[in-house]
Structure 1
Amino acid sequence: MSEKTAVRTREKWVDDVKVIACILVVLGHFFQSMTKANILPENNLYGWFNTTIYYFHVPLFFICSGYLYQKYGKVNSVGSWCKNVTKKALALGVPYATFTTATWVLKKVFPSRVNNQIGGLDDTLFFRPTTPYWYLYALFFIFLVTPTFSSVKAAAVGLIVALAAKVLILTGGGVQRLRCIDGSLKRNLVCARYEYLCV
């Protein structure tokens, strides 16, 4: 595919939504850091702003990823599923493992300088991903279990099945509630509101 074709087929609105979500992430982390350092007071306005951002900025990333995955991915057979797992393991796993390991090393070397202590490397990589890399971890598992749909009818059936599963999870209809990935209070707030995004 030529560079011109790639630019022409690029979804501009997805890029715009991701930019907005990135700005919200930066603002959220900035204000959290400022209140932790006692530079800004932790008042009602801060609480409202922080909670409001965490209601939708991470779901925006998941929506964009899901949209692009459904539009450009083809997972409709065992062979295509295996190719998808390999592709996603490289695209998401390599940056996840690299940055998680670097963060783990830094937190072990400078334990008195970090807000949150960290466990063993294997525990951090496989069971308790560290902030902010939990997103890549969760996205990989979502891609692992999500098929792509070749028609609107198949997508509608998939949506109905997903909504039914969500209702069962929320009502406790014989299905054990999903547990959120251990982590920061804010991430747990997101998971509490959007359990369907948690692994």
Structure 2
Amino acid sequence: MACILVVLGHFFQSMVKSNILSNSDLYEWFNTTIYYFHVPLFFICSVYLYQKYSRVNTFVSWHSNIKKKALALGIPYLTFTTITWILKKLFSGSVNDQIGGLGDTLLFHPTSPYWYLYALFCIFLITPIFRNVKKVTIGLFFAFLAKVVILNGGGEYRCICFVNSPFK
């Protein structure tokens, strides 16, 4: 169901951006509603699967695991972001969203839909492996606190991972 909502969300966003559909209250409600849960659901599932199959209990094992994640997420991210960047530069008069320089796009303003891989890798870098309820509770508290700060105008303190995501 979440996958279908992701597809529908992207489909309707592209239809509104290209002025095929109007930006109605129904569209705004639908888009806002699905983004409240389908993107967080994908992150929860991804991090859960990451933790379930990773044995990280030392700095060396964390470092090794990060190298594996950099390959698994970085190669598709670099490849498809670069292809998207080239196409948007070649056909800049025909795209809805203009794009900056390649370095800026890769490092600071990841393009849709590849920001997900970028953000997921950042989460793997900064998220410790929660092995007990106390650590999970502390992690959830800080995540909730960060979200409250962002929602109350503290956006300039966002992690670079979320600069170009729906979590603004």
Under TM normalisation by the shorter chain, which class is it?
0.7 to 0.9
Counterpart among 113, 130, 145 of residue 132 in structure 1: 113
The question of 1:69 aligning with 2:45 is answered: no
| Contact 2:18–2:96 (CA under 8 A) maintained in structure 1 | no
Deviation at 1:72, TM superposition (A): 1.9
TM-score by length of structure 1 reads 0.72
Q: Secondary structure at the match of 1:191?
A: coil
From the superposition, tell whether residues 154 and 33 of structure 1 become closer, same or farther in structure 2 (CA, over 3 Å): closer
In structure 2, stretches of 5+ residues that fail to align are none
Residue equivalent to 1:196? none
The question of 1:150 aligning with 2:131 is answered: yes
The count of corresponding residues between Structure 1 and Structure 2 is 165
The question of 1:39 aligning with 2:20 is answered: yes
Counterpart among 69, 88, 101 of residue 120 in structure 1: 101
The question of 1:51 aligning with 2:32 is answered: yes
Deviation at 1:21, TM superposition (A): 2.0
Deviation at 1:57, TM superposition (A): 1.3
Q: Which has the larger radius of gyration?
A: 1
The question of 1:97 aligning with 2:97 is answered: no
Residue equivalent to 2:157? 177
From the superposition, tell whether residues 169 and 23 of structure 1 become closer, same or farther in structure 2 (CA, over 3 Å): closer
Deviation at 1:172, TM superposition (A): 8.7
Q: Secondary structure at the match of 1:46?
A: helix
1:103 maps to amino acid: T
1:53 maps to amino acid: I
Q: Percent identity?
A: 65
Residue equivalent to 1:27? 8
From the superposition, tell whether residues 135 and 167 of structure 1 become closer, same or farther in structure 2 (CA, over 3 Å): same
| Contact 1:170–1:177 (CA under 8 A) maintained in structure 2 | no
Q: Secondary structure at the match of 2:83?
A: helix
TM-score by length of structure 2 reads 0.84
| Contact 1:76–1:147 (CA under 8 A) maintained in structure 2 | no
Q: Secondary structure at the match of 2:128?
A: coil
Separation of aligned partners in 1, 2:25 and 2:142: 39
Residue equivalent to 2:167? 191
Deviation at 1:165, TM superposition (A): 5.8
Deviation at 1:75, TM superposition (A): 2.1
From the superposition, tell whether residues 51 and 123 of structure 1 become closer, same or farther in structure 2 (CA, over 3 Å): same
State the superposition RMSD in angstroms: 2.5
In structure 1, stretches of 5+ residues that fail to align are 1-19, 193-199
Residue equivalent to 1:197? none
2:125 maps to amino acid: L
